[in-house]
Amino acid sequence: MVVVVVDKPGKTGIPEVKETQRNQVELTWTAPKDDGGSPITNYVVEYCEETAFHWLRAGDAAAVQPSNRYVVRGLTENTAYKFRVAAQNQAGLGPFTECVVPVKASEPVGLYHRLIKYSI
Protein backbone atom coordinates (compact mmCIF):
# COMPACT_ATOMS: atom_id res chain seq x y z
CA MET A 1 0.00 0.00 0.00
CA VAL A 2 1.28 3.44 -0.95
CA VAL A 3 0.39 6.36 1.27
CA VAL A 4 0.55 9.80 -0.30
CA VAL A 5 0.71 12.66 2.16
CA VAL A 6 -0.60 15.95 0.84
CA ASP A 7 -0.14 19.16 2.76
CA LYS A 8 -0.87 22.83 2.13
CA PRO A 9 1.68 24.61 -0.06
CA GLY A 10 4.46 26.80 1.32
CA LYS A 11 4.78 30.58 0.94
CA THR A 12 4.95 32.19 -2.47
CA GLY A 13 7.70 34.61 -3.40
CA ILE A 14 7.15 38.19 -2.26
CA PRO A 15 4.60 39.89 -4.55
CA GLU A 16 6.18 42.56 -6.75
CA VAL A 17 4.45 45.50 -8.38
CA LYS A 18 4.93 45.53 -12.15
CA GLU A 19 2.73 48.51 -13.01
CA THR A 20 0.31 50.93 -11.39
CA GLN A 21 -2.59 52.84 -12.91
CA ARG A 22 -5.20 55.21 -11.48
CA ASN A 23 -7.38 52.40 -10.14
CA GLN A 24 -5.34 49.21 -10.50
CA VAL A 25 -2.05 47.55 -9.61
CA GLU A 26 -0.42 44.65 -11.47
CA LEU A 27 1.36 42.10 -9.25
CA THR A 28 3.66 39.16 -9.99
CA TRP A 29 5.16 36.52 -7.68
CA THR A 30 6.98 33.21 -7.81
CA ALA A 31 5.44 29.86 -6.99
CA PRO A 32 6.19 28.34 -3.59
CA LYS A 33 9.23 26.06 -3.42
CA ASP A 34 7.05 23.45 -1.69
CA ASP A 35 3.72 22.63 -3.33
CA GLY A 36 2.75 20.33 -0.46
CA GLY A 37 2.81 17.26 -2.68
CA SER A 38 -0.10 18.45 -4.80
CA PRO A 39 -0.14 20.83 -7.79
CA ILE A 40 -1.03 24.48 -7.14
CA THR A 41 -4.60 24.98 -8.33
CA ASN A 42 -5.10 28.63 -7.47
CA TYR A 43 -3.56 31.73 -5.94
CA VAL A 44 -5.50 33.98 -3.59
CA VAL A 45 -4.67 37.69 -3.84
CA GLU A 46 -5.83 40.01 -1.08
CA TYR A 47 -5.45 43.74 -0.50
CA CYS A 48 -6.27 46.42 2.05
CA GLU A 49 -5.67 50.12 2.45
CA GLU A 50 -2.36 50.93 4.12
CA THR A 51 -3.95 51.97 7.42
CA ALA A 52 -6.67 49.28 7.46
CA PHE A 53 -6.62 45.83 9.03
CA HIS A 54 -9.41 44.18 7.03
CA TRP A 55 -8.13 42.26 3.99
CA LEU A 56 -10.33 41.99 0.89
CA ARG A 57 -10.09 39.23 -1.68
CA ALA A 58 -9.23 40.48 -5.16
CA GLY A 59 -11.48 39.02 -7.86
CA ASP A 60 -12.75 35.50 -7.48
CA ALA A 61 -11.00 32.14 -7.43
CA ALA A 62 -11.57 31.67 -11.16
CA ALA A 63 -9.87 34.99 -11.91
CA VAL A 64 -6.41 34.13 -10.57
CA GLN A 65 -6.03 30.39 -11.24
CA PRO A 66 -2.47 29.08 -11.26
CA SER A 67 -1.04 32.18 -12.95
CA ASN A 68 1.74 34.09 -11.19
CA ARG A 69 0.40 37.47 -12.34
CA TYR A 70 -2.75 39.36 -11.41
CA VAL A 71 -4.17 42.86 -11.91
CA VAL A 72 -6.06 44.10 -8.85
CA ARG A 73 -8.79 46.40 -10.20
CA GLY A 74 -11.28 48.78 -8.62
CA LEU A 75 -8.81 50.56 -6.35
CA THR A 76 -9.16 54.19 -5.29
CA GLU A 77 -6.77 56.58 -7.04
CA ASN A 78 -3.92 58.00 -4.91
CA THR A 79 -4.61 55.54 -2.10
CA ALA A 80 -1.82 53.33 -0.72
CA TYR A 81 -2.56 49.60 -0.49
CA LYS A 82 -0.94 46.50 0.99
CA PHE A 83 -1.07 43.27 -1.03
CA ARG A 84 -0.56 39.63 -0.16
CA VAL A 85 -0.68 36.31 -2.01
CA ALA A 86 -1.14 32.67 -0.97
CA ALA A 87 -1.00 29.46 -2.98
CA GLN A 88 -3.75 26.85 -2.80
CA ASN A 89 -3.78 23.13 -3.58
CA GLN A 90 -6.17 20.26 -2.84
CA ALA A 91 -5.16 20.31 0.87
CA GLY A 92 -6.00 23.99 1.30
CA LEU A 93 -4.58 27.48 1.41
CA GLY A 94 -0.95 28.04 2.35
CA PRO A 95 0.40 31.01 4.31
CA PHE A 96 0.23 34.50 2.83
CA THR A 97 3.29 36.42 1.66
CA GLU A 98 2.92 40.19 1.86
CA CYS A 99 4.47 42.97 -0.23
CA VAL A 100 7.30 44.68 1.59
CA VAL A 101 5.95 48.25 1.24
CA PRO A 102 2.49 49.67 0.52
CA VAL A 103 1.85 50.76 -3.07
CA LYS A 104 -0.15 53.77 -4.24
CA ALA A 105 -2.68 53.27 -7.03
CA SER A 106 -1.74 56.13 -9.34
CA GLU A 107 -0.96 56.88 -12.96
CA PRO A 108 2.80 56.46 -13.49
CA VAL A 109 4.69 59.52 -14.72
CA GLY A 110 7.91 60.20 -16.60
CA LEU A 111 10.16 58.07 -18.75
CA TYR A 112 9.41 54.84 -16.87
CA HIS A 113 5.71 55.09 -17.79
CA ARG A 114 6.44 55.86 -21.44
CA LEU A 115 8.82 52.91 -21.72
CA ILE A 116 6.29 50.46 -20.29
CA LYS A 117 3.28 51.82 -22.16
CA TYR A 118 4.88 52.11 -25.58
CA SER A 119 7.35 49.24 -25.63
CA ILE A 120 4.68 46.55 -25.53
pLDDT in tens, 46-101: 999 999 999 999 987 556 677 899 999 999 999 999 999 999 999 999 999 999 89
Domain contains 1:
no
Domain membership of residue 73 (yes or no) is yes
Q: Is residue 7 in a domain?
A: no
Is residue 6 assigned to a domain?
A: no
Q: What pLDDT is attached to residue 63?
A: 62
Residue 59 structural domain? 16-118
Provide the domain count of the chain: 1
Does a structural domain hold residue 2? no
Overall pTM surpassing 0.85 (yes/no): no
CATH number at residue 47: 2.60.40.10
* pLDDT tier, 110 (very low <50, low <70, confident <90, very high otherwise): low
- For residue 35, is it within any domain? yes
**Residue 9 covered by a domain:** no
DSSP state of 113: H
**One-character DSSP codes across 15-45:** PEEEEEETTEEEEE-PPPS--TTS---EEEE
